[in-house]
Amino acid sequence: MFEMVRKFDWPLMAAFFVLFACSLLVLSSIAYELFWSQLMWISLFLCGVLIMASINWRTLINYPWIVWGFYVIAVVLLLITVIWGRTIRGTASWITIGSPESGIRFQPAELAKVALIILYAQYFARRHVSVASLRTIALSFLYFVLPAFIILKQPDLGSASILFGIWFGFLLVSGLPLRRIIASIVIFGVIALIAWQFLLKPYQKNRIIGFISPSYDPLGINYNVTQSKIAIGSAGWWGKGYGQGTQSHLGFLPEAHTDFIFAAFTEEWGFIGALFLIGVLGFVILRIIKIGILCEDNFGRFVSLGTALMILIQSFLNLGFNLGILPVVGIPLPFLSYGGSHLLTTGLLVGIIQNIAIRLK
């Protein structure tokens, strides 16, 4: 075990520890009661890393039933969530273990992201030569659309958007010809129109309308974004200081510990702190991509690139709606926002990446 840990990619792990420190720092300021819970979730993330790092990642491609079993479990949990899941902020995205008030909540959509990345890594690693065929594209689309459709029924537009980004990103990195890319975009456009007409809830449509027209309902639909922009805009270069954020501490900034934790952090640590945070996230993404590029096996390469892609999409969407340049879709900021589902499931992917890094040395 110690020899394995010694061979970890420690620059990557150090970046995670920096992000976790920033998360604990801002939570201790704005929601101290969540500090110890977040520390527990971080510990579970590290356990996930150790477990997956100790298992040869080639097992996943040599035994396809493991990958498919993981995917099926994720889809079944999503169905359970729609039928019996607990509704929080208008979305039935959670399975509660224990009492509704104090039980542990788990979001299966986070597991679906990980399952889809591993499934696509295996799928495209075996079919990298025939990626341009319509059959390959169509099957890969079905793997994405099944969990995405269930997630939209919850409804959770943000997680469904990430699943689409993962699917489309895999098509791009696997060498899809330009004509197929254009065709895929057209198909997505048609699906988006159908989703707007039949799947999206009124509040989701209002968020998109609010993004297009920022002056629309500033005390209603656009309230969260308005308060986020005030928090960020009033921070200055160095911020207001630890524990001095007015928007977060006085309750003006909703979901300051989850969706809008970037605004809460920036308000206290300023533009310099925000740049530092974005820089560390960028380093994590680039480091994972580097490990993937160095890997000689297609499966390992695709897992690494898929993980980097997921972190990139989530970060882009979260930072986008915190800054008011994208619609609010309720996406946590990776490794910063409070919550265990994302940390626990992402830890499995990071463990595989560390396993790859160990075998590169």
pLDDT at residue 98 in the model: 65
pLDDT at residue 265 in the model: 96
pLDDT at residue 197 in the model: 73
pLDDT at residue 106 in the model: 85
pTM for the complete prediction?
0.90
pLDDT at residue 267 in the model: 95
Which residues does the chain have with pLDDT short of 70? Answer: 85-92, 98-103, 127-132, 198-201, 203-221, 361
pLDDT at residue 87 in the model: 64
pLDDT at residue 210 in the model: 57
pLDDT at residue 126 in the model: 78
Return the HEC string of the chain.
CHHHHHCCCHHHHHHHHHHHHHHHHHHHHHCHHHHHHHHHHHHHHHHHHHHHHCCCCHHHHHCHHHHHHHHHHHHHHHHHHHHHCEEECCEEEEEEECCCCCCEEECHHHHHHHHHHHHHHHHHHHCCCCCCCHHHHHHHHHHHHHHHHHHHCCCCHHHHHHHHHHHHHHHHHCCCCHHHHHHHHHHHHHHHHHHHHHCCCHHHHHHHHHHHCCCCCCCCCCHHHHHHHHHHHCCCCCCCCCCCCHHHHCCCCCCCCCCCHHHHHHHHHHHHHHHHHHHHHHHHHHHHHHHHHHCCCHHHHHHHHHHHHHHHHHHHHHHHHHCCCCCCCCCCCCCCCCCHHHHHHHHHHHHHHHHHHHHHC
Q: What are the pLDDT digits (tens) for 49-68? A: 999 999 887 777 778 888 99
pLDDT at residue 283 in the model: 98
Domain edges within the chain: 1-61+220-361, 63-200
